[in-house]
Copies of this chain bind each other. A is one copy, B any other.
């Protein structure tokens, strides 16, 4: 103890990243200091830093403070630190107000998000925030505060030219490679579209996973802006930027609970769009059995929420409810999806579900951005795709991101371990769940193994003859192929029946 007033402890480094500013005290020191696990202490070296306390009976001896990686960077090479108890951040009170319906201000919300970004909140505190916003969804105004705070605590793109176009898909439908078509169509029409995408979390491949097969996807905000200004569009990985960084931190606690509170979802989407400088945003809301939004009415409510939040933030938002109960196109998983998208760009060869959805959404964007008159967008998008202008633009995009612009669909490598699943009888495919298709593709190696995936010969509602192939599985590794085959065969992943039980018809509202 220095001057008998402040506790001074020897530093013991713990070279583990815990995603927050955290230290470990021996219980005897914690008692002496009057703090418990979960409390805060202030550490003094040259400056001050506040850390969350964990306590132990043994591992860290009395007189010593265990310092995790995130703190190490702040304390230079200090051998000792002066420790005093500190109060909890005000954000913890804000979280309790959100839980209990108490009052808080826009500044309180900013401080909360800022503490999340600065790694000042524990998993416990962040989970309470997420659980509370799941159980008592934030009102529209507070969701706006949340979104603005998410934008303002990260990097922002600021373009000189407008409008800036953007699109987003709520996800949940396999094989949704439409961004690989929409971005070049929109950019080819002369609009700017700096598309940032995510990697798959529970899916078989996010847009960033797919684009990575064609070109690098990790760029910072300045690079994204400059590339977009040069060729009109990019398809990059949002995770490499510092755009709305709170989002990834929140996903870290949402994911283990499979929670995605609707206000958090709205804020997450619109914060990323706002930070990218978007003026006009089209949002694809896949609905139907097996999607994240099984119920159309729920999809409409989400659309209203997104449009309202966009208006609050000065963005024009249009939402397209799309049929999501079946995969888009016939491929699910990295390379297979890229091949399917490239073939459409190269020669319009490809499934109607993919082409129609892509030109439908691209057409909406052309209309919103003023490149086409209302009602003419879809035709214009189709024409850009058919004429080869979209392919040409895609090559420019691939090139500016550092890929090979000469790449064609036949250059993409697909796993050489393959198997086919055949129909056991004549009939119709009556059940073929999205989730099971994704599971098969993931077991085959997607999204990590780019050559892994599933090619769907027969979709739900289609007729099939005995011994015809229903799907082909591609894998880079024999044991993964085996696991995927076993999954495809069990639990009625695919059900063929001898009669059509119901008419399966697209519910799209495009």
A residues touching B (Cβ–Cβ < 8 Å)? 3-5, 14-17, 24, 31-32, 34, 36-39, 56, 58-59, 66, 69, 88, 92, 95-96, 99, 122-125, 127-128, 130-132, 134-136, 201, 252-253, 255-259, 442, 448, 477-479
Known: A92-B256, A127-B128. 4 other contacts (CB 8 A): A16-B66, A37-B256, A88-B256, A125-B257
Number of copies: 2
CB atoms of B201 and A96 under 8 A apart: no
User: How far, in whole Å, are A401 and B298 apart by their CA atoms in the complex?
Assistant: 64
Q: Which chain B residue lies CB-closest to A66?
A: B16
Min CB gap A258→B, angstroms: 7
Choose from B59, B99, B132, B477 the contact partner of A16 (Cβ within 8 Å).
B59
User: How far, in whole Å, are A5 and B125 apart by their CA atoms in the complex?
Assistant: 39
CB atoms of B479 and A4 under 8 A apart: yes
**For residue A99, which residues in chain B have a CB less than 8 angstroms away from its CB?**
131, 134-135
Choose from B39, B96, B135, B252 the contact partner of A37 (Cβ within 8 Å).
B252
User: How far, in whole Å, are A4 and B96 apart by their CA atoms in the complex?
Assistant: 49
Choose from B16, B127, B477 the contact partner of A4 (Cβ within 8 Å).
B477
**For residue A127, which residues in chain B have a CB less than 8 angstroms away from its CB?**
123-124, 127-128, 131
Choose from B17, B253, B257, B448 the contact partner of A96 (Cβ within 8 Å).
B257
A15, A256, A478 interface centre (most CB from chain B within 10 Å): A256
Min CB gap A130→B, angstroms: 8
**For residue A442, which residues in chain B have a CB less than 8 angstroms away from its CB?**
34
Q: Which chain B residue lies CB-closest to A32?
A: B448
CB atoms of A253 and B124 under 8 A apart: yes
**For residue A123, which residues in chain B have a CB less than 8 angstroms away from its CB?**
122-124, 127
**For residue A39, which residues in chain B have a CB less than 8 angstroms away from its CB?**
256
Q: Which chain B residue lies CB-closest to A201?
A: B36
Min CB gap A451→B, angstroms: 14
19 sample A-B contacts, Cβ–Cβ < 8 Å, listed by A number: A3-B479, A5-B479, A16-B24, A16-B59, A17-B56, A17-B58, A32-B448, A37-B255, A38-B256, A92-B256, A96-B257, A96-B258, A122-B123, A123-B124, A123-B127, A124-B256, A127-B127, A127-B128, A131-B131
User: How far, in whole Å, are A69 and B478 apart by their CA atoms in the complex?
Assistant: 36
CB atoms of A255 and B36 under 8 A apart: yes
CB atoms of A31 and B132 under 8 A apart: no
**For residue A122, which residues in chain B have a CB less than 8 angstroms away from its CB?**
123, 256
User: How far, in whole Å, are A24 and B130 apart by their CA atoms in the complex?
Assistant: 24
CB atoms of A17 and B135 under 8 A apart: no
Min CB gap A356→B, angstroms: 32
**A4-B477, A36-B201, A131-B99 known; A125+B17 contact, CB < 8 A:** no
CB atoms of B14 and A16 under 8 A apart: yes
Min CB gap A447→B, angstroms: 8
User: How far, in whole Å, are A235 and B332 apart by their CA atoms in the complex?
Assistant: 66
User: How far, in whole Å, are A258 and B128 apart by their CA atoms in the complex?
Assistant: 11
Min CB gap A124→B, angstroms: 5
**For residue A37, which residues in chain B have a CB less than 8 angstroms away from its CB?**
252, 255-256
